[in-house]
Amino acid sequence: MTRIYFDNAATTALDSEVLEAMMPYLTEKFGNPSSVYSYGRETKMAIENARKQVAKHLGVTPGEIFFTSGGTESSNTAITTAVRDLGCDHIITSPLEHHATLHCAEEVARDRNIPLHYVQVLPNGHIDLEHLTGLLRDHKGKTLVTLMHANNEIGNLLDVAAVGNLCEQYGAVFHCDMVQTIGHYPMNLPALKVHFASAAGHKFHGPKGVGVLYVNAHIQVKPMIHGGAQERNMRAGTENLYGIVGFAKALDMAMAKHEEDKQYILDLKTYMHDQLKSAFPDIRTNGDTFGDCLYTVLNISFPKNEKSEMLLFNLDMAGICVSGGSACSSGSTSVSHVIKCLYNGQSEFMVPIRFSFSKHNKKEEVDAVISKLKDLIA
């Protein structure tokens, strides 16, 4: 069976050139970067060169870049250390965040016995900046604001610069989950006034198991993992050498062809949207689909009926990989917290599906998916 992969917001295929860059560090260049002899020195140099590459693309200094195991660790570290080390006694997040943020914020707030507030969401899925302003103004202590740059389900983009300005105005610490945007957009983190930013390599054709945490040089936090001097005493443990090399290579490649890839993917997204609306006029889009939205994500809801209820399962059986929320073992779908928030209790009448695209997808694949959907629910 030929498989069609339209779930690139979950993960992307490792680029062959990235693998090629990683291979020497999977084979002959295997030294521990903490060792003082030649094998260790050459691998330590590879890590520091990768750090410089990443820092250049994010507009920051190499000393502000820390390599982690991925976006979840990066976000957890930012949230935990902001409260533990920076004096934050209040957390603001949103009900649309990834669970790596939501669950961590809930745990930290409970453990530290501090208030946790959720900024309101507008009908189009964007954050209500007026409500955020009120939450910041009303708290007399120091606040941590943790909001994602792009929602991983509906694709809505946050006005990061506006939130950064608000945080600066009210003396708040700002963590931004940029897992869906770093590698897809040019970045200048200092201009956005973020204190922390999270990224993951596998979202832009890099390897899994490696991420980045940006920590602004003007703040000082203590390590989350103890036991060694790696990452300038901030993250103990032998480094994921080949993952770090792969992350930097993938980011280099993504930025080199950003405009070309963006236009190609946006054209695919637009084509699929138009074909879906033509074939199924009663579907609805979720989020600000062609406004402030990821060019890689298209989230569509089909009316729920006996044919659409098992749509994800049947698409999978046909070799088509998409997502729609948290699937249970029977193949039916429990609507995600993001869709539930958007529709205020009316989401049980719909079957949401997220199509997410990459540079490897083709128009012919879109046509094949539309044809299969017609077979399944027409």
The pairing of beta strand 333-334 with beta strand 326-327: antiparallel
Residue 85 sits at φ, ψ, to 5 deg, of -110, -20
Is residue 326 pLDDT above 50, yes or no?
A: no
Cα–Cα separations (whole angstroms), residue 40 to 22, 34, 45: 16, 6, 9
- Band of pLDDT at residue 348, cut at 50, 70 and 90: confident
Q: Which two tokens stand for residue 36?
A: 């003082």
- Band of pLDDT at residue 332, cut at 50, 70 and 90: very low
Is residue 327 pLDDT above 70, yes or no?
A: no
Mean pLDDT throughout 243-259? 98
Mean pLDDT throughout 149-161? 98
Is residue 2 pLDDT above 90, yes or no?
A: no
Is residue 83 pLDDT above 60, yes or no?
A: yes
What is the per-residue pLDDT for 352? 94
Cα–Cα dist 33/168, whole Å:
38
What is the per-residue pLDDT for 331? 41
Q: Each residue of 138-149: pLDDT tens digit?
A: 999 999 999 999
Cα–Cα dist 60/53, whole Å:
10
Mean pLDDT throughout 121-146? 97
What is the per-residue pLDDT for 325? 58
Domains and CATH numbers, the chain: 4-12+258-377 (3.90.1150.10), 16-256 (3.40.640.10)
Residue 240 · residue 67 · CB < 8 Å? yes
The terminus-to-terminus CA distance of the chain in angstroms comes to 23
Least confident of 97-101, 218-222, 304-308, 354-358: 304-308
Is residue 368 pLDDT above 60, yes or no?
A: yes
Is residue 178 pLDDT above 90, yes or no?
A: yes
Q: What percent of the chain has pLDDT over 90?
A: 91
| Residues classed as catalytic | 328
Q: pTM for the whole thing?
A: 0.95
* Bridge partner list, 150: 157
Amino acid (one-letter) located at 12: T
- Band of pLDDT at residue 59, cut at 50, 70 and 90: very high
- Band of pLDDT at residue 329, cut at 50, 70 and 90: very low
Mean pLDDT throughout 362-367? 98
Average pLDDT value for the chain: 95
Residue 187 · residue 214 · CB < 8 Å? no
- Band of pLDDT at residue 305, cut at 50, 70 and 90: confident
